[in-house]
């Protein structure tokens, strides 16, 4: 027992020596000093000429002796960022001082562009580049036939069509018969997706959009879209409807005697056709809006039962021909350019109401045939509205629409440009171009000798728009 106790004492002594050695390992240290954190900066600089820059400028727009319907005055505000970080947005607001009151409402905006891009939306005509493909596809046609997808689709399906040329050699010579409640839409838009056999619509709740569509013949009629009966809730939109200069080819053809409810033909381009749209006598009102119709014998023929607004007609032998028994027609806010005419084929005293359209000049009389009421007429083209809203309901964008947040009692929002591409601390700049005209038809003698003072505030911001 004594030997065991001695042995344990020796082990304890050795362990103590070992712990002491462990505590003697070498160490060293260094220090990183003088750390620094600096915020970046935004520095908006303005110029009236692109060479002399400052925090503020004066009289970018300075117009004297304006007359109703006179020449639009255009000027340019230059902007650049002398700061060290990118700007995430620009925001524009106006403060007007009209004398007499309301004069800013007749100051028609004829151009509003940032970096060459139109800031106004909702103008006459069609912009196919704004087409948005669906994201809720039920089935996608790629390397297969659209016709087969229609055959197998259930009601309410969304058939998405990949880019390609779906011509007669591929689909067969007959038009594509859409006899179900479905949507057929391209994924790439009309510039890359062609349907060469046309569509025959034979059901309610049908939408067809995003294609280049050329005509085919059905029941002796050659058309790109044939309405085989009366239907409701149908939309034909964002298509390039090309007649290929075929004799008697029609873009959209309605069967005689049909009943149409909530039927919209919008944002299409129709060209090189005998007729862009031929309505034929029918029941109900068809909406024909925001289309560009050109190079046709008649842009819209047999017009009856239609709401025709915000379309652009040019280079047509006849823009619109009203049926000899036409009824229930709204024909307003359209542009009839290049001398395009509106003709009333009725021989009685019933006139075509074609008020508040732009005729390319201030003498529409040489562009109407028959009994057509064209007065009052618009004082300029319908290039769009600020944020897409006609706040004053006068048919055009004006300086009063441009109030923004300066006057909280108004519900119009300021113009905001996200990602304005103003590079920090660089020589690059972008421009805001605005043209203003004293509107002819709406500027009475009350405003003679008047004026509108205007202050424009430009806010360049980083982060979420405030």
Tell me, what's the pLDDT at 226?
Answer: 95
pLDDT digits (tens, 9 = 90+) for 20-78: 455 689 999 999 999 999 999 999 999 999 999 999 999 999 999 999 988 899 999 99
Q: 400 or 194: whose pLDDT is higher? A: 194
Q: DSSP states of 99-167 as a string?
A: ESTTGGGGEEEEEEEETTEE-EEE-SS--GGG----S--SEEESSS-HHHHHHHPPTT-EEEE-SEEE-
Whether residue 2 is predicted with pLDDT greater than 50 in this model: the reply is no
Tell me, what's the pLDDT at 46?
Answer: 97
pLDDT band at 157 (very low <50, low <70, confident <90, very high): very high
CA 203 centroid distance within chain = 29
Domain ranges within the chain, ordered by starting residue:
60-67+77-119+386-461, 129-373
Whether residue 3 is predicted with pLDDT greater than 60 in this model: the reply is no
Q: 425 or 306: whose pLDDT is higher? A: 306
Tell me, what's the pLDDT at 220?
Answer: 87
pTM of the shown model: 0.82
H or E element, residue 4: helix 2-22
pLDDT band at 337 (very low <50, low <70, confident <90, very high): very high
- Mean predicted lDDT score pLDDT of the chain: 90
User: What's the helix, strand, coil split of the chain in %, to 5?
Assistant: 10, 40, 50
Q: How far apart are CA 110 and CA 436, in angstroms?
A: 6
Residue 150: phi, psi to the nearest 5?
Answer: -65, -40
Fold for 129-373, please state it.
Pectate Lyase C-like (2.160.20)
Which structure tokens are listed for 370? 């028959």
């Amino acid at each position: 027992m004594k030997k065991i106790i001695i042995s344990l004492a020796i082990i304890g002594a050795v362990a103590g020596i070992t712990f002491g050695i462990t505590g003697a390992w070498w160490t060293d240290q260094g220090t990183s000093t003088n750390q620094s954190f600096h915020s970046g900066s935004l520095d908006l600089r303005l110029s009236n000429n692109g060479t002399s820059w400052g925090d503020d400028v004066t009289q970018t727009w300075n117009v004297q002796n304006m007359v109703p319907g006179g020449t639009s005055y255009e000027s340019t505000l230059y902007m650049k960022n002398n700061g060290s970080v990118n700007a995430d947005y620009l925001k524009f607001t106006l403060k007007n001082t009209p004398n007499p009151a309301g004069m800013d409402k007749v100051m028609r905006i004829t151009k509003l562009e940032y970096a060459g891009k139109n800031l106004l939306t909702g103008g006459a005509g069609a912009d196919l580049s704004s087409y948005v493909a669906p994201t809720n596809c039920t089935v996608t046609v790629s390397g297969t036939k659209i016709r087969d997808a229609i055959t197998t689709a259930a009601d309410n399906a969304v058939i998405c069509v990949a880019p390609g040329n779906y011509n007669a050699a591929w689909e067969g010579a007959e038009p594509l018969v859409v006899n179900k409640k479905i949507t057929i839409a391209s994924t790439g838009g009309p510039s890359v997706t062609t349907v060469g056999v046309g569509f025959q619509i034979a059901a309610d709740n049908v939408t067809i959009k995003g294609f280049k569509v050329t005509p085919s013949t059905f029941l002796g009629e050659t058309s790109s879209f044939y309405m085989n009966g009366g239907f409701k809730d149908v939309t034909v939109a964002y298509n390039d409807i090309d007649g290929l200069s075929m004799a008697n080819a029609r873009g959209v053809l309605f069967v005689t005697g049909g009943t149409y409810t909530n039927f919209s033909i919008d944002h299409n381009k129709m060209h090189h056709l005998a007729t862009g749209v031929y309505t034929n006598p029918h029941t109900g009102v068809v909406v024909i809006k925001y289309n560009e119709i050109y190079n046709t014998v008649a842009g819209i023929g047999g017009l009856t039962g239609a709401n025709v607004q915000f379309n652009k007609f040019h280079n047509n032998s006849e823009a619109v021909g009203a049926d000899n028994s036409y009824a229930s027609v709204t024909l307003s806010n359209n542009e009839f350019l290049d001398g395009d005419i509106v003709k009333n084929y009725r021989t009685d005293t019933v006139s075509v109401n074609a008020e508040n359209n732009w005729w390319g000049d201030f003498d529409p009389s040489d562009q109407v045939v028959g009994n057509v009421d064209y007065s009052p007429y618009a004082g300029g083209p319908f290039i769009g509205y600020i944020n897409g809203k006609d706040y004053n309901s006068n048919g055009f964008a004006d300086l009063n629409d441009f109030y923004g947040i300066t006057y909280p009692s108004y519900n119009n929002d300021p113009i905001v440009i996200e990602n304005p591409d103003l590079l920090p601390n660089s020589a690059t700049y972008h421009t805001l171009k605005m043209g203003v005209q004293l509107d002819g038809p709406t500027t009475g003698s009350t405003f003679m000798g008047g004026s509108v003072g205007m202050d424009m505030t430009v806010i360049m911001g980083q982060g979420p728009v405030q």
